[in-house]
Amino acid sequence: MNPGLNLRQSMNDYAGTDPLRRAVGDVIGALAHASVEISDLTGNGALAGITLAGITGQAQGRNADGDIQKDLDVRADRIIRAALEPLPIAALASEEAAEPEIGYPAAPISVAIDPLDGSSNIDTNMSVGTIFSILPTPRDIRATFLQPGDAQLAAGFFVYGPQTSLVLTLGRGVDIFTLDRGENAFKLIRPAVLIPPDTAEFAINASNQRHWEPPVQAFIEDCLAGTSGERGKDFNMRWIGSLVAEAHRILTRGGIFLYPADAREGYRDGRLRLVYEANPMAFIMEQAGGAASTGRQRILDLTPATLHQRVPLIMGSRNKVRRLDRLHMSPEIKSEPYPPLFARRGLFRN
Ligand code: F6P
């Protein structure tokens, strides 16, 4: 695809006259439309409270899954629902609603969204975003969001940062578009994005270190040992606390992101949601040559049991994700809760 290509043109080229692809392209177009409004809203910061009645950027309750909900989460959810409303979508699931909304049950596609990921960071002027996953509608509509991530037709996320960007996969690679504010149109800036298979950068919330499982402890300990450890290489650490921003960084210069399961109450399955966070990210990572895993299973193989199910997520540069998989499978590490000398395990190095 040509750099500079308009998103609309790119969707037309992809869809041609195929009705299913046209439905996918229409959803992506509508989400892009909504994202411009959400980008303006988040970009205005506290000014939004002056120019838009009722917006404070402050917490106003908890969502279906118990997370703190800000009025911006609710507003972003409404903007997306309004943009998708005219389209024939069978079901729409959102982080902000306990149950999916049923639209046109006979429609071939359904959509899952996290309207404003990272919203807890919004008052710190950090990048936040919208994540989406487009699925085929199965015969039994109640099973729509219980399909494994491998069923996804398309997935992507918008990042509202210094630039507003769209990272998109239609199952044939990953493309990144940036909003041209002058023309109010998304333009292709990075076609066929590839994640380097190796990396010297990791991202994890290290404040939870004492709660991690041994394989994660082992991996991070090796990274921290740097040139003085057996790996003989220094690593760099980043933690933004905003999944879309971390994913965008990995797609730009490689890296590995971990939000593992840990021993804290409520974190035994990690923190991130499978259907509208981990699945779209995993689809994007794999399509860009990276990988995504729980440490024990490939994310896209998992069959969700519930809409808001949480899942441990390890994603990014392929060789590092594989290394974590091997650490999770190691009987040596499983049997010892906190083995003292991880550097002995030459078997697990790559
Ligand atoms: O799911 C919301 C989210 O803000 C992600 O964007 C981010 O990766 C994660 O939570 C941060 O969690 P914590 O505050 O525990 O580091």
Question: What pLDDT is attached to residue 320?
Answer: 97
Atom of ligand 1 nearest to the CA of 257: 8
Q: pLDDT (tens digit, 9 = 90+) per residue, 86-106?
A: 999 999 999 999 999 999 999
Q: What is the DSSP secondary structure assignment for residue 276, as one 8-state letter?
A: I
Q: Which of 76-80, 170-174, 339-343 has the lowest mean pLDDT?
A: 339-343
Q: What is the 3-state secondary structure (H, E, C) of 89-144?
A: CCEEEECCCCCCEECCCCCCEEEEEEEEECHHHHHHCCCEEEEEEEEECCCCHHHH
Q: Which of 40-54, 157-171, 214-228, 311-325 has the lowest mean pLDDT?
A: 40-54
135: β partners: 110
The verdict on the CB of residue 9 being under 6 Å from ligand 1 is: no
% of the chain with per-residue pLDDT over 90: 81
* Residues that are catalytic: 67, 73, 95-96, 114, 116-117, 277
% of the chain with per-residue pLDDT over 70: 89
How far is 282 from 70, CA to CA, in rounded Å? Answer: 26
Q: How far is the CA of 242 from the centre of ligand 1 (A)?
A: 6
The pTM (predicted TM-score) of the whole model is 0.92
The residue whose CA is least distant from atom 2 of ligand 1 is 118
Closest CA to 301 of 323, 283, 289: 283
Most confident of 39-48, 111-120, 278-287: 278-287
- Of 120, 269, 309, the one to substitute when testing ligand 1's pocket (max ligand atoms within 8 A of C-beta) is 120
Q: Is the pLDDT of residue 257 over 60?
A: yes
Atom of ligand 1 nearest to the CA of 239: 16
The verdict on the CB of residue 208 being under 6 Å from ligand 1 is: no
